[in-house]
Amino acid sequence: MEKTLTTLLKNHRESGGNIISLLQETQDVFGYIPKEAVEFFSDQLGLAPSRFYGVATFYSQFRLKPRGKHVVTVCCGTACHVQGSERLLNSVKLELKLNDEADMTEDGMFTLEKVNCVGACGIAPVTIIDKKVHGKAVSEKIIREIRAIKGPRDAKK
Ligand code: FES
């Protein structure tokens, strides 16, 4: 990891980038911003870790935890809530065998995200699977989609 971080930092210095661009590049490489990266950059740049975490937690695009290979995003904003998104969310949790604290499956295949309004209230409830938007989503269809991603062997589990 240190070699990669050194390269990222070198590019960052050469391009005269800022903390945001450094964190973006880090996330592009690792899929999230590892704690080790923050510690390394903090050390090398002489900046407090809180400067990095401040930026990373301010912008919703940044993730401080690894993500699964596939991402299921269930909108639970008001319009979606009214249309039963909580029930949908619970069905997905059950299908992915996620307990209340976990948002990623043990095998790292799926991450489940709960968000507030994705801006498509007219087709509520909305679920997004790997950037594909499913409007007027019903549990059965979303579960079918997830099982299709899992593949025929896992689909029966
Ligand atoms: S509340 Fe779900 S799209 Fe707006």
Give per-residue pLDDT as tens, 60-107: 889 999 989 999 999 999 999 999 999 999 999 999 999 878 899 999
115 Cβ below 6 A of ligand 1: no
State the pTM of this model.
0.76
- Pick from 88, 115, 118 the residue to mutate for probing ligand 1's pocket: most ligand atoms within 8 Å of its CB: 118
- 153: pLDDT confidence band, cut at 50, 70 and 90? low
d(CA 87, CA 90): 5
What spacing in Å lies between the alpha carbon of 76 and ligand 1's midpoint?
7
Amino acid at 81: H
- If one counts every other C-beta atom within 10 angstroms of the C-beta of residue 135, the result is 12
- Over residues 40-66, the mean pLDDT reads 93
Burial of 119 by CB count in 10 Å (0-12 exposed, 13-18 middle, 19+ buried)?
exposed
76 Cβ below 6 A of ligand 1: no
The helices-and-strands tally (H runs, E runs) of the chain is: 8, 4
The domain spans of the chain are: 2-58, 70-151
80 Cβ below 6 A of ligand 1: yes
pLDDT per position as a tens digit, 104-138: 999 999 999 999 999 999 999 999 999 999 999 99
75 Cβ below 6 A of ligand 1: yes
Fold of the domain built from segment(s) 70-151? Glutaredoxin (3.40.30)
Helix (H) or strand (E) segment spanning residue 127:
strand 127-129
Which of 28-42, 83-97, 143-157 is predicted least confidently?
143-157
- Pick from 82, 115, 126 the residue to mutate for probing ligand 1's pocket: most ligand atoms within 8 Å of its CB: 126
What spacing in Å lies between the alpha carbon of 127 and ligand 1's midpoint?
9
79 Cβ below 6 A of ligand 1: yes
What spacing in Å lies between the alpha carbon of 92 and ligand 1's midpoint?
18
Residue 157 has pLDDT above 80, yes or no: no
Residues sharing a CB contact under 8 Å with residue 28, sequence separation 6 or more, in sequence order: none
